[in-house]
Chains A and B, each alone.
Chain A
């Protein structure tokens, strides 16, 4: 009873960004980083080769979760934290659909933390985009599970945030994710290919997007995005390439045992051969985890694909089990089922 994949029906040929824009008034605050993400997502969609009617955006609650209302695809704005679970049910029922989950740091890592873990470890073929602004915006400025320890100026902790934050990438890697990436809302040239990579991944794809909330947490990522420091503080990860950064690309990451360190090419005899090479496809997630821990101010902030490995998808396994069951028992026969077990006839 499962539908066949309809991605070849050709309806995508003439689609443009505009075909993915709805007539709904966008209600985010002017200047919000979400606008950029929406625009880039709409731009990426026509290139995915999937008919518009086969695309579904599912979200939970929060500023970012209004996203589906603005995408002219099928969309479901659900309840707080539960989008991964709803997307799981949708994808296993309808493997022919391309399912995106749009979520935020509070939605995915606080109230919905459990579902995020499980959708990742099951490797359900859904694309999860987490807008991380390190604050609760829609509820007006409470600290989130990614807010920095001791952070001042949040409404719910006047003396500073007392919670140690979660690192979304480390959580995803710990949860056995097969695709883990990070990008930044303002870095359009980086954002688009990352969304395309996520779309192309067969399995659960997890993308963290640093996103500025200009009302409740303005400048949260300025240490990274300001033009004068951007190159020195960003580590662009590229598969197979040495991990170099800086305007001159003369600084790099070297591993000393399990500990990363920053070295400079040409200093103390360091050559490019000493620099750690990125391998996103390593079966063991240790390297990806080490990379996920690199952070400002001790290290440049890694962006790009940390991990991309193949593993059977959950929806695929369920479909295989169904096929196996049919192979073993034949297609379901109602009469046979009703009449199974010990029966007797009363005259």
Chain B
């Protein structure tokens, strides 16, 4: 079933393609998108994906809130984003068309399941006239395919209900896309074989649907051209496709192995953080324990209990969960125990838009506690980077006896990219030591260089001691209400965090080390920011890019870097939180590019803002 190069039809080479699949949340769009991604990755395209789905599991069929979509950018060159505007939109019903059409590029391919364009569905989507007939789609290359009925025909004779048959139509559509983009069906057939091992009828029906869609493309006259996107020129190595949630989970497991410490992973169910929980439960054979707690507070408290016991305590949540955990985070800060808090950010405030992405928790993680209580913060840049920053978060927590935030978001967590599998030997190692000598032990006797206190664990004879949230006397850790001691301990705890700057990499700059404009980004905005800067530099603009993965403390050279540029632009998916920190810390008059729409930046948005700033600059 290999994709034939002997296609009768014309095959056109493309550098990259952005496809968006949109349908009802029950239509299997995420599954279909995942399959196309897997196939694209396996033939060596660079990929980047953006799943977008409603919080409601299945909103009423055909309704606008029920639309679920999956966008995939696959390319023969390096790509960093799922693409600004899709070249291809597959709309399985009128609601999917209505909510997604605005993003499709002019002249883009619009593939429509005409069977779903009934009067009732058109009404549900708020269409007064049928867009397939009123000429409103004339800007696009419209392909009208009765997917539901063609799919049903292909499954005729199978012992299944009409409803069950209809559920296969996403694979019919996938088959057609495979033909259109000259893909092999092998990987998906293997997937179906695995998935429906015990239900042969479902294997058979989905496979038939897939092949029927493919053959439809091959035999009908409506598509005159198929397309091919060749392998990307990625750095040599072994790759796998990975989502941010998967990468974070295996990163945490890897950290526990590298640092030789058992891990307790605690969580209360919350979107989009639960994806990490679902991944990490698969690794119990690594000695990873997981605890689904009764609430967010119990989750973090259990993690702190594990840390007190000498293990890695790690809790994963999203913004509302961080709010609930604040008091416990400060307990870990005050007693100085290692703790990792993973925040898979989502749109807020309050419940906000749980399945949509945002970077709105930076100041919450930075300051959301009583008193002066700095915590370390790291933030992955891409889905694959979640692996490396997960290890960093654990390293810093263990090395500095402090809570560390790992700030991902829904876009990174659910999005995916090809990930070059690292060699275990290249990963960082760090060994934790615990005191054992009663003669020299004092619970708050600090290392003079790092200010880190010793981590004595229960079970060590002679080191029995008590710690707690009440202020502790320097060195002994006994309860103390002494005014000067409190001032000293507050300074020490915060200075310890500041000194982490000596133990993290210096900030790198992409592009020239000085110039007109520096784009300063953090977290998941990496892809759009780097792509925008690359585009502008190709046009000769004086723009460089610095991407922060360490947000507290900042890399030591960040202030110097910013001094060498006339302007600093900070695009972020909030109203200017990093910008506030940068201005306060460095007295740099950084310009913000805020966006809080629940979706990532488009490259074009950052390009436009840069161009605006560069134009202003040239007039001065």
Contact = CB atoms under 8 A, between A and B. Distances in A.
B383 to A, nearest CB: 13
Contacts of B294: 85, 114-115, 117-118
A115 B302 CA distance: 11
Given A69-B468, A93-B311, A341-B240, A88 B291 contact: yes
Contacts of A97: 309, 458-459
Interface in A111-159: 114-115, 117-118
B464 A77 contact: no
A153 B400 CA distance: 49
B222 interface: no
B301 A342 contact: no
Interface in B222-262: 231, 234-242, 250, 253-254, 257, 262
22 contacts: A2-B262, A53-B462, A54-B458, A58-B305, A74-B464, A78-B468, A85-B293, A85-B302, A86-B301, A89-B306, A91-B305, A92-B291, A93-B310, A93-B311, A94-B310, A97-B458, A117-B294, A321-B284, A335-B424, A341-B242, A342-B42, A346-B238
Interface stretch (A219-227, A244-252, A272-280, A326-334): A326-334
B239 A89 contact: no
A339 B309 contact: no
Contacts of A96: 459
Interface in A64-104: 68-69, 71-79, 82, 85-94, 96-97
Nearest to B469: A79
Nearest to B311: A93
B465 interface: yes
A200 interface: no
A22 B443 CA distance: 15
B284 A339 contact: no
Given A73-B464, A339-B421, A346 B283 contact: no
Interface string B296-329: 0111011111101111010000000000000110
Given A24-B478, A79-B327, A330-B285, A88 B302 contact: yes
B289 A322 contact: yes
Contacts of A344: 41-44, 238-240
B157 interface: no
B264 interface: yes
B102 interface: no
Interface of B: 38, 41-44, 187, 231, 234-242, 250, 253-254, 257, 262, 264, 266, 283-289, 291, 293-295, 297-299, 301-306, 308-311, 313, 327-328, 331, 335, 421-422, 424, 458-470, 478-479
Given A93-B309, A94-B309, A86 B304 contact: yes
Task: Assign chain A's interface to a size class.
Answer: 35 or more
A345 interface: yes
Contact of B309 (A52, A90, A326, A335): A90
The main secondary structure of chain B at its interface with chain A is mixed
Contacts of A54: 458-459
Nearest to B463: A53
A78 B297 contact: no
A318 interface: yes
A296 B292 CA distance: 40
Given A2-B287, A6-B459, A325-B284, A53 B298 contact: no
Interface in A197-253: none
A89 B305 contact: yes
Contact of B266 (A72, A74, A89, A94): A89
A53 B468 contact: no
A334 B257 contact: yes
Contacts of A22: 466
A88 to B, nearest CB: 5
B458 A56 contact: yes
A133 to B, nearest CB: 21
Contact of A343 (B239, B287, B331): B239
A89 B240 contact: no
A85 B298 contact: yes
B41 A342 contact: yes
Q: Which of B250, B302, B331 has the most CB of A within 10 A?
A: B302
A258 interface: no
A6 B460 CA distance: 11
Given A88-B291, A339-B240, A346-B234, A3 B301 contact: no
Contacts of B234: 346
